[in-house]
Structure 1
């Protein structure tokens, strides 16, 4: 029996029909590299062969009686690949716009909690701008199961660096979680509840010390940006369950060129380009705030975490994107300095702080609070916590093959939240940086209007750096 960590379970409690907590991926495949000619049946069977012994793909959640503790993972003894890998065709004429509309619709559908929390939609009939026919896999997996790094690791069961590579042999130490009886679940829950006051007491002192140190950093001007200090925009309010999606590619070589010329990091350059794209998008709509937009940037703590269990090993930092700065080089310099302070501040916080506090998220209370927050539209009545989430997921520098088909695009998409109805996720792969933009459709109906600014802003930054 595997109990969900508090952080993993929190993503279940945060979910409502409008605030969906799955992560998605748009994977564009060239089927011509497959060892055998593509058919849906072959692809589905190959996926089944690669996942049926992997616990993350074959486990489902089971609630604890009376909601006394976080749910547990149990093996789905009725696992059936046909319930998880589906077939669709992109509507005519089968171009980019039709593909994005279809993916947005699929992203708007919740996962079935009675089954393992993932699914893939194999989309046929897509044609690129060059007229090449491609197969697209739109993948969904609940955030309770993966974070950015663990999600990329799970892809290794489906991807390889050679078209004809055999499937990975599952780790024999990874067993399917057993299904416990109600008595055992209840007993464990009662025992865990009894020890929580002691755990809370242990956390109070270091948390108080952290607050004191943060105040000191703020006085010195070396603290990360503070939440609740973001300006309000059209995508900062109560969201619906409808989504809009756009994807775009950037040349990784250009980003590295700017990095080498300025001494900044790749992440600094990516955030600078994102800030410029958001500035241009808001200017076009006469919505540009006088103060900078504030982004939440998830940070993996997998290497420093002391916890051995849990799928999500993440923390987060806040950073201002310099949308109030017109000059891209000045914005990059400002972001590089702010990010350095934010990282130093973040490193002073325990890697497990977020996971430790999440253990106290009560299933019933937490879920009720989220629904009440949405129903009362409280996101529109208090200061904006943050404007959006931006994630940067490192990927392989070499070509990848998904069950033998070469990956042309590997673009992840994160969840959006009440109060922050926009998520931008970037992932590098084989010399390109894939940018995925997902938003609440009512808040940002045309995500392409934002995505199209990314290549232009990178070119603008590159030219400005070269001219100095």
Structure 2
């Protein structure tokens, strides 16, 4: 029996009609590289053949009687590819604006929990530039209970290859989950409930020690930024289900050059660019707060986790983005120092701390609490926990091919939350850094107004590096 981990299940409990807990990806494909001309029916059939024996694509959620324990995964015996892979065409003129509007609409739709928690839309007729060749776009959506950044990439690798006619990059095979009986589910749930107090005692001691150490770090000025210390912005309130989406591309080699010259990391540079773009966006609207915005940055703990099960193996750290600093180089230096302290603080925390505590999320009460929080609009009443989520996902250094079509852009999009209605995700891909921003439409109607600042902020940072460093020449 394949039981969801507490962290995986928490993403199910967090979901409401407005707070949708799926992650998305926009893949722009060049069909000219395909060994046979593009045809939707052939692509759908090939996807079906590749996912048929992959549990991540063919399993669905089954609840435990009386909600006594987290749900389990079972195989969908009536799996039908036509319920998961769909065909759409962009309205004319089929440009970037039409694509973003359509993707935002698709991101606003919930997944059907009676089936495996993923869908793809093959979108035809995309012309990124006037006079350019027609591209095919795949908009993919998977529930966060099924994947995190790393496991999502592993799952998609079943559909990608290194050459147009090469076999897929298939990870190690995983057995399909079996379908347990009602009695077994109930029995295991009763045992798990009875032993929960013992588990709680094991978790409390290291957590108490962590709090003591964190207080000491705060006094020394070496702690990561604290939650509930963020200024309020227009995208920090109660969200709706409507989404807005935008994308941009950055030169990965230029980011690496800035990193090398300044002695920082790629993540430091990305966060500095994010901080500058957010500063410019808020300043344009006379909304720039005096104190810095605070971001939650997910961190993969897959390599250090003791747990062998669960799709999500992540932790998180908080970092101030330096939106109160105009000079891009000064912002980068500040971020590098704060991120170093934040990483040291984060490394002192057990890799499984978040997963351990998530085991105590009660299915019924957790869901009721989330809905009450949304209905009472509590996100607008208490101090802001964090302003947004920023994820940096390492991608392939060489071109990949999806069903034989070269992936020109691979842009992931994470969920947004009540109180933090903006998510920025960046992913490297064959020399480019693709930026994806998704927001609650009522909070940020024009996400492109933010994203268009990213290339400009990289240019500003590059110019500042060249002006301030004798060896910064290109």
Instruction: Say yes or no: TM over 0.5.
Output: yes
Alpha-carbon separation, structure 2, partners of 1:204 and 1:258: 43
Deviation at 1:170, TM superposition (A): 7.0
Aligned to 2:383: 383
1:352 is the counterpart of 2:352: yes
CA deviation vs aligned residue, 1:410-430 (integer Å, no higher than 9, x gap): 000000000000000000000
Deviation at 1:169, TM superposition (A): 6.0
Count matched residues: 467
Aligned to 1:34: 34
1:134 is the counterpart of 2:135: yes
After the TM superposition, which of the residue ranges 454-463 and 160-169 deviates more from structure 2? 160-169
CA deviation vs aligned residue, 1:181-200 (integer Å, no higher than 9, x gap): 11110000000111100000
Q: Which runs of 5+ in 1 are unaligned?
A: none
CA contact (8 A) 2:160 2:169 kept: no
CA contact (8 A) 2:157 2:170 kept: no
Instruction: Call closer, same or farther: CA 1:311–1:169 in 2, change over 3 Å.
Output: closer
CA contact (8 A) 2:296 2:388 kept: yes
Alpha-carbon separation, structure 2, partners of 1:407 and 1:350: 37
Alpha-carbon separation, structure 2, partners of 1:188 and 1:132: 57
Deviation at 1:204, TM superposition (A): 1.0
Deviation at 1:202, TM superposition (A): 1.1
Aligned to 1:147: 148
Aligned to 2:195: 195
After the TM superposition, which of the residue ranges 331-340 and 160-169 deviates more from structure 2? 160-169
Alpha-carbon separation, structure 2, partners of 1:394 and 1:176: 28
CA deviation vs aligned residue, 1:95-120 (integer Å, no higher than 9, x gap): 00000000000000000000000000
Alpha-carbon separation, structure 2, partners of 1:18 and 1:425: 20
Three-state SS of the structure 2 residue aligned to 1:216 is helix
CA contact (8 A) 1:54 1:170 kept: no
Alpha-carbon separation, structure 2, partners of 1:227 and 1:388: 12
Instruction: Call closer, same or farther: CA 1:377–1:49 in 2, change over 3 Å.
Output: same
Aligned to 2:46: 46
Deviation at 1:458, TM superposition (A): 0.3
CA contact (8 A) 1:50 1:168 kept: no
Aligned to 1:329: 329
Alpha-carbon separation, structure 2, partners of 1:221 and 1:195: 40
Q: Which runs of 5+ in 2 are unaligned?
A: 469-474
**Coordinate RMSD, CA, aligned:** 0.8
CA deviation vs aligned residue, 1:421-459 (integer Å, no higher than 9, x gap): 000000000000000000000000000000000000000
Alpha-carbon separation, structure 2, partners of 1:331 and 1:167: 42
1:116 is the counterpart of 2:148: no
Deviation at 1:167, TM superposition (A): 3.6
Three-state SS of the structure 1 residue aligned to 2:158 is coil
Alpha-carbon separation, structure 2, partners of 1:466 and 1:151: 38
After superposition, where does 1:11-30 map in structure 2 within 5 Å? 11-30=11-30
Alpha-carbon separation, structure 2, partners of 1:170 and 1:435: 26
Deviation at 1:18, TM superposition (A): 0.1
Aligned to 1:263: 263
Alpha-carbon separation, structure 1, partners of 2:151 and 2:462: 33
4+ residue runs of structure 1 moved beyond 6 angstroms? none
